[in-house]
Structure 1
Amino acid sequence: MEEVQAAPAVQMATPPAAAALAAPPSGLVKFAKDSFAGTVGGIAVTLVGHPFDTVKVRLQTQSMAKPIYGGAIDCFKKTLQWEGVPGLYKGVSSPLAGQMFFRATLFSAFGGSKRWLGTNSDGTTRPLTTADFYKAGFITGAVAAFAESPIDFYKSQIQVQMVRAKSDPAYKAPYTSVVDCVKATLRTSGARGPFQGLSATLLRNAPANSVYLGSFEVIKRQAATHYGCEMKDLPAPVVMAAGGTGGILYWLAIFPVDVIKSAMMTDSITPAERRYPSIPATARALWAEGGVSRFYRGFSPCLMRAVPANAVMLFTVDKVTHLLTDH
């Protein structure tokens, strides 16, 4: 008898439409991964860095004629004395509540910018150059400013109330919470209210993030070459050192602009009462108060915050991104 051979199994091709429904678009997946990693990193940086930020904003905005604090350490001690540990976290609900949106914007913009810069006109990809990392950081800073500006504005409005209360015994805080501040600004200026100081945020963010994120990536790539490994396999201390270095370079690049931003954001929410209505007017007014030194108030706590906060955040984002990509 002849041996009867089994017919080969028929391979059914998955229709393109079904395949598209079965798996989400790669761009959406990448955006979701960047957003999640950025959110986790943002929460970490807020918890670690907010006390330093409170000290920075209070030093930047206190009166030159009648200063409340003698320096960063004095501000830290008096904040604990007058308000306890919660005083160091004044306004923290604004950055915490905004972390999902802001960090999602920041790191999805950075990831998208790198992919765009690394794609040729014919759709093929190429390795990013050193300049590409800095370009991606610049684009990211400009995009993220629109998400960060309202968060910084509400945070700063709450943080500065203690400074004003100590400077003027007759001062009465107009807000008891971030929610009260949101209601007041929307009532006074409508949708434009939360964007008080946006121009200064844009002027700060684009170059600062170019230096910050660009340097972080370049340092990691150089370290990977040195260790003979992929960037995702770098030791944690190396990644954290790269993040801390990027944070220091961020503030060295633009700190005077940040002082201008803080002045504009802590100004009156009523347009007719503002002392700092624009960047040029603010720069002139601050110069008249104290010359060059006026633009470096709060510099020391800012640098103190830069290393631990940015080391923790960028390490967290980096590792979460790689974990999501590898699984």
Structure 2
Amino acid sequence: MSTSAGQQVQVPAPNAGLVKLAKDIFAGTCGGISVTLVGHPFDTLKVRLQTQPVDKPIYSGVVDCARKTVQWEGLGGLYKGVTSPLMGQMFFRASLFGAFGASKRWLGTNADGTTRPLVWSDFYKAGAMTGFVAAFTEGPIDFYKSQLQVQIIKSKMDPNYKPPYTSVLECVRQTIRLNGFKGPFQGLSATLLRNTPANAAYLGSFEVLKQKVAASYGVATTDLSAATITACAGTGGIIYWLTIFPVDCIKSAMQTDSIDPAKRKYTSIPVTARLLWAEGGVKRFYKGFTPCLIRAAPANGVMLLTVDKVTTWLNKS
């Protein structure tokens, strides 16, 4: 469906929705792999800074965290837990971009089946719906990734600590054995609270920025340069994190807590928020913000550029 202002779109054929969905999933998966390869090291630093003890910090800042990570674990330490997001990209990006494409098509379809051009508010609505749906696939991916990323912190806090699992698959087996179906969804409530407004801001801003730039140059959004799309996507990524970073701190605390419900410290969003506040007030909710912001523009720029270009290529073929 075209998003150019004033352009009328024909009613799709019965199977057109499935074809568009398949294209959205394929393009989203390609974008997801690219963002993981570019952004995972920054995500590792973010999670470790967010979850280290405040009273006895292991890292003094983002540079120290990067230095100690490489010193203690080699370069591979920066990619700790990367198996989870790589393995889950097809499912997560299928839900993310599949839902985004379907949401835009639904919002642009009238009750009688005819279509209408999307207005700017529609992109933000579609982004919010997308964030809610995608949380159910992103939540488990983030949970397993985070569990492995913080093992080094636990080992430095306790010399007798022995990691209960050394791989994502081992973590999957133990969480399901202990908690059943609910195991991978530890911290899901915080993921939903983060994702819904964040993706409204992220995906909505990306689409609106493309529309505004294209209109200013008098071209279609598909004719925008790679640099322009990357800039729009990077700006959307920065807006994403500026919108919800404190909630992300809550999510990280809940997801890196014990997988045994009886041993958990962060049992709900209100409890977690109260405990984090007690550790350092407002500043506690911005631990790890620097690597996150450094990552936001290049990683999200690369991802949405990949998605945009792959989608354009698929629609032309």
Q: TM-score, normalised by structure 2?
A: 0.95
Aligned residue among 14, 33, 44 for 2:34: 44
Gaps of 5+ in 2: 1-12
Identity %: 70
Q: Which amino acid aligns with 1:82?
A: W
- Deviating 4+ runs (over 4 angstroms): none
Determine the structure 2 residue equivalent to 1:146. 136
Deviation of the 1:126 alpha carbon? 0.7
Alignment of 1:149-168 (within 5 A): 149-168=139-158
Q: Aligned equivalents of 2:207 and 2:51: distance in 1?
A: 33
| 2:43 aligned with 1:53 | yes
Determine the structure 2 residue equivalent to 1:305. 295
Alignment of 1:1-327 (within 5 A): 25-327=15-317
Larger Rg: 1
User: How large is the RMSD of aligned CA atoms in angstroms?
Assistant: 0.9
Name the SS for the 1:174 alignment partner. Answer: coil
Deviation of the 1:169 alpha carbon? 1.2
Q: Aligned equivalents of 1:63 and 1:274: distance in 2?
A: 16
Deviation of the 1:200 alpha carbon? 0.2
Show CA shifts across 1:108-133 (max 9, x none).
Answer: 10000001101111111111011000
Q: Which amino acid aligns with 1:212?
A: Y
Deviation of the 1:168 alpha carbon? 1.6
Q: Aligned equivalents of 2:246 and 2:47: distance in 1?
A: 13
Deviation of the 1:24 alpha carbon? 8.3
Q: Aligned equivalents of 1:26 and 1:114: distance in 2?
A: 14
Deviation of the 1:180 alpha carbon? 0.8
Q: TM-score, normalised by structure 1?
A: 0.92
Q: Aligned equivalents of 1:169 and 1:227: distance in 2?
A: 61
Gaps of 5+ in 1: 1-22
Deviates more, 1:35-44 or 1:223-232: 223-232
Q: Aligned equivalents of 2:40 and 2:18: distance in 1?
A: 31
Q: Aligned equivalents of 1:32 and 1:24: distance in 2?
A: 14
Count of paired positions: 305
Q: Aligned equivalents of 1:68 and 1:167: distance in 2?
A: 8
